[in-house]
């Protein structure tokens, strides 16, 4: 008979909270707010960089960063799924009070993500010119985009490890530590941008590559500082002594992380490819429209922050409660998440619609011809983020119990046959507006699919639940194929 794994409650540490007990709404909000703060800081970082680039280097450079950033999101998705899989493994392990199992999952994810991000970064550096040509990047922005993108590729491993560490900490119930170290990264990046762009003091004048170099350096410093903090404070996911070997991925955990991480990564890739296709369509409308769309994306980064924070909090809570067998709380977590999304995302949408011109003018100046274009895009499409947020909540819950293929299929259909199909197919009647209307229509289709899958799909079945380490070992020693597993949310 296989012995059961040791299950020890990790001692309370900075920011860690038990997500399996207490009032659901209050616990969810207390967990989500630091995550929202981290997301706002991350978007603020991108916005500050855009301001430096737009004001110091002009609209061509801003268009270049818009093209480069959507490519980075594509490459980020190629390795992000592994981190999502590990997050749910960590959350379910902590729900079962299996701290060692959480560390094993976290260590395996570090090894996988580090290797994958190095490979993806190297390939990205090599093929960056071909990627930009495929996007029909405007000639005026091509060289700038290439210089910016190649430096960003170098920093990909550090950025991916930082995000993975944040995700792992949230899986343990700690959303405060990621907030502090995201703040450190943002402060460093914002301070280094003008120094490296303009060559202030002893620093070299790097132009647009300086903005990317600032991001690279701030990410490396934040990763090293966070790793030292986790070790010094003895946080639940610290790897000490013999535990450091967990970074060499175990075969069983690797199969679980890859099996669930690849579909999660595929969802990110679907979003990214759809975004790249949209950028290609927008680029054909000229530099001004590309700049206007890029500025709108900066605002959208903020509008979606409450939805992403609530989705992440719902996923972490659902994973821990599923791991603890508290299914009675999962439905209530979903309802609370939907209500919080309606209030917080709805408020963000209202602010962006009421104050769009002054907010858009921050990036390129109020007199820029890109501002009216961005205003028009904003008014037609931004309201759809309320539906996007509801979808994040529903997908977050079902992924927490291992359901990854249903959300992938739903997302693919809403992005390609519907969103991009309408963007292209309606242009003879609506002109450029077909592109902007395709966003809320695609979001509506995504929400309908997510709601139907949540209500009628098989995601609640026991086959989707993550087995304990002991159960995994027992199944591996039998003739049966292991079937249990996990899953996360964005």
Highest mean pLDDT among 108-112, 164-168, 279-283, 342-346: 342-346
Q: Is the pLDDT of residue 470 over 80?
A: no
Task: Look at the block and give the residue holding tokens 């946080």.
Answer: 235
Model pTM? 0.77
Higher pLDDT, 56 or 257: 257
**pLDDT tier at 127 (50, 70, 90 boundaries)?**
confident
pLDDT at residue 314, as a whole number = 93
Q: Is the pLDDT of residue 386 over 60?
A: yes
Task: Look at the block and give the residue holding tokens 């991000």.
Answer: 117
The answer to whether 108 touches 246, Cβ cutoff 8 Å, is yes
The answer to whether 75 touches 154, Cβ cutoff 8 Å, is no
Percent of the chain residues topping a pLDDT of 90: 32
DSSP alpha helices (H): ranges in 96-207? 99-134, 139-154, 156-171, 176-198
Tell me the mean pLDDT in the region 424-431. Answer: 93
Percent of the chain residues topping a pLDDT of 70: 86
Tell me the mean pLDDT in the region 214-236. Answer: 91
Q: Which of 40-44, 79-83, 203-207, 310-314 has the lowest mean pLDDT?
A: 79-83
Best CA proximity match to 408, nearest among 490, 342, 331: 490
pLDDT at residue 123, as a whole number = 86
Higher pLDDT, 480 or 32: 32
Instruction: Please give the angle made by the CA atoms of 294, 295 and 297, to the nearest 5 degrees.
Output: 65
**Exposed e or buried b per residue across 8-22, where buried means at least 16 C-beta atoms within 10 angstroms of its C-beta:** eebeebebbbebbee
Best CA proximity match to 192, nearest among 165, 166, 220: 220
**pLDDT tier at 73 (50, 70, 90 boundaries)?**
low
């Amino acid at each position: 008979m296989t012995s059961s794994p040791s299950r020890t409650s990790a001692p309370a540490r900075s920011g860690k909270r038990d997500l399996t007990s207490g009032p659901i709404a209050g616990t969810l909000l207390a967990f989500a707010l630091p995550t929202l703060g981290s997301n706002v800081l991350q978007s603020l970082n991108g916005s500050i960089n855009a301001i430096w680039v737009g004001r110091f280097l002009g609209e061509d450079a801003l268009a270049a960063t818009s093209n480069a950033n959507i490519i980075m999101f594509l490459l980020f998705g190629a390795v992000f799924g592994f981190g999502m899989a590990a997050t749910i493994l960590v959350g379910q392990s902590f729900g079962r009070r299996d701290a060692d199992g959480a560390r094993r999952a976290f260590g395996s994810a570090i090894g996988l993500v580090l290797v994958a991000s190095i490979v993806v970064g190297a390939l990205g550096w090599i093929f960056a010119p071909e990627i930009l040509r495929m996007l029909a990047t405007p000639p005026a922005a091509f060289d700038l985009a290439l210089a910016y993108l190649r430096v960003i590729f170098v920093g990909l491993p550090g950025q991916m490890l930082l995000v993975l560490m944040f995700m792992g900490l949230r899986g343990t119930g700690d959303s405060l530590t990621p907030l502090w170290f995201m703040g450190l990264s943002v402060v460093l990046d914002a301070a280094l941008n003008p120094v490296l762009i303009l060559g202030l003091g002893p620093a070299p004048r790097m132009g647009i590559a300086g903005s990317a170099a600032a991001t690279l350096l701030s990410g490396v410093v934040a990763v090293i500082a966070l790793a030292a903090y986790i070790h010094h404070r003895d946080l639940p996911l610290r790897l000490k002594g013999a535990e450091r070997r967990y970074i060499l991925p175990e075969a069983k955990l690797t199969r679980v992380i890859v099996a669930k991480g690849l579909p999660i990564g595929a969802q990110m890739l679907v979003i990214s490819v759809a975004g790249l296709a949209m950028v290609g369509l927008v680029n054909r409308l000229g530099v001004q429209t590309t700049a206007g769309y890029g500025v709108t994306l900066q605002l959208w980064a903020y509008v979606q922050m409450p939805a992403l924070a609530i989705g992440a909090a719902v996923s972490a809570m659902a994973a821990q409660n599923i791991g603890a067998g508290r299914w009675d709380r999962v439905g209530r977590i979903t309802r609370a998440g939907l209500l919080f999304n309606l209030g917080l995302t709805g408020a963000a949408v209202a602010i962006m619609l009421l104050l769009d011109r002054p907010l858009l003018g921050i990036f390129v100046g109020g007199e820029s011809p890109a501002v009216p274009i961005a205003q028009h895009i904003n008014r037609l499409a931004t309201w759809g983020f309320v539906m996007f947020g509801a979808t994040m909540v529903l997908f977050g819950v079902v992924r927490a119990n291992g359901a990854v293929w249903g959300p992938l299929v739903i997302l693919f259909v809403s992005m390609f046959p519907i969103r991009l199909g309408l963007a292209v197919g309606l242009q003879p009647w609506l002109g450029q507006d077909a592109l902007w209307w395709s966003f809320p229509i695609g979001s509506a289709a995504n929400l309908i699919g997510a709601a139907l899958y949540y209500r009628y799909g098989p995601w609640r079945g026991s086959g989707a639940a993550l087995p304990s380490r002991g159960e995994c070992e027992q199944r591996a020693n039998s003739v049966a194929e292991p079937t249990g597993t996990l899953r996360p949310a964005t």
